[in-house]
Amino acid sequence: MTELTPDWPPHFRKYGIHLCPVTDADLELIRGWRNDQEINQHMLDQSYITQQMQQAWFKRLQGDTSQVYWLIMFKDEKIGVASLTNIDREKGTAEPGMYIFTEKYKNNIVPFCAAFALNDFAFEQLGSQQLKGKIFDNNGASLRFHQSCGYVQVGEAEAGLLHFVLTADQYIPARDKISHFIRY
């Protein structure tokens, strides 16, 4: 299990994906992606992010072991962002999130590679027992994607949001069913 050290967050590589810790140099790229309507419409907070807001967000991340953000790198190209928030090591829970910005990598196996790398980090490195997700009920593509990864809906929709959970027991068979197609 990964210890939370001054080197937090670590780099993580798997399935051809490199989860690379966000640096100050990445902030404007990420802000541009985050403010893009195609990405923003699926976010819980859909407000426009200013440069000052982005800097303040990044400053809050420093030394905060309850959340981590990575750039998703594929074939040495920055293609999106992955995160684990609300990390609770005592309860063994975290809330993953990710988006792929680069269009050519959205509708193929690459999003699965990124999600599997993120989930493997959470389960194998952090020792998480359960991942929790929230998805807008009108985001059919995300719903199907999460269900393919083993997530199970819990409860009813609240304010247009569906709640999902994923345990390692649910995840591993779902991952293994798809991961044998990954050739990276």
Query: What is the domain-level CATH number for residue 21?
Result: 3.40.630.30
Is 170 a member of any domain? yes
Tally of domains within the chain: 1
DSSP 8-state symbol, 183:
-
Query: For residue 102, what are its two tokens?
Result: 């680069």
DSSP 8-state symbol, 134:
E
Is 162 a member of any domain? yes
The answer, yes or no, to whether residue 4 has pLDDT greater than 70, is no
The residue range of the domain holding 50 is 12-179
Question: pLDDT for 116-126, tens place per residue?
Answer: 999 999 999 99
What b/e readout covers 2-13, taking b as 16+ CB neighbours within 10 angstroms? eeeeeeebeebe
Query: Could you tell me if 112 and 82 are in contact, meaning their C-beta atoms sit under 8 angstroms apart?
Result: no
Query: Could you tell me if 166 and 127 are in contact, meaning their C-beta atoms sit under 8 angstroms apart?
Result: no
Is 5 a member of any domain? no
Please list, in sequence order, all residues whose beta carbon lies within 8 angstroms of the beta carbon of residue 179, skipping any fewer than 6 positions away: 15, 112, 116
Question: pLDDT for 116-156, tens place per residue?
Answer: 999 999 999 999 999 999 998 988 989 999 999 999 999 88
Is 7 a member of any domain? no
Query: For residue 114, what are its two tokens?
Result: 């990124």
Please list, in sequence order, all residues whose beta carbon lies within 8 angstroms of the beta carbon of residue 134, skipping any fewer than 6 positions away: 44, 95, 161, 162, 163, 164
CA–CA gap between residue 92 and residue 21 (Å, rounded) = 22
Is 2 a member of any domain? no
Is 103 a member of any domain? yes
Percent of the chain with pLDDT over 90: 74
* DSSP assignments along 66-82, one per residue: T-EEEEEEETTEEEEEE
Per-residue confidence band for 158, with pLDDT thresholds at 50, 70 and 90: confident
Is 144 a member of any domain? yes
The answer, yes or no, to whether residue 3 has pLDDT greater than 60, is no
Is 1 a member of any domain? no
Q: Is 59 strand, coil or helix?
A: helix
Residue ranges in the chain assigned as alpha helix (H): 27-35, 37-40, 51-61, 110-120, 140-148, 168-179
Q: Is 182 strand, coil or helix?
A: coil
Mean pLDDT (whole number) for 6-24: 92
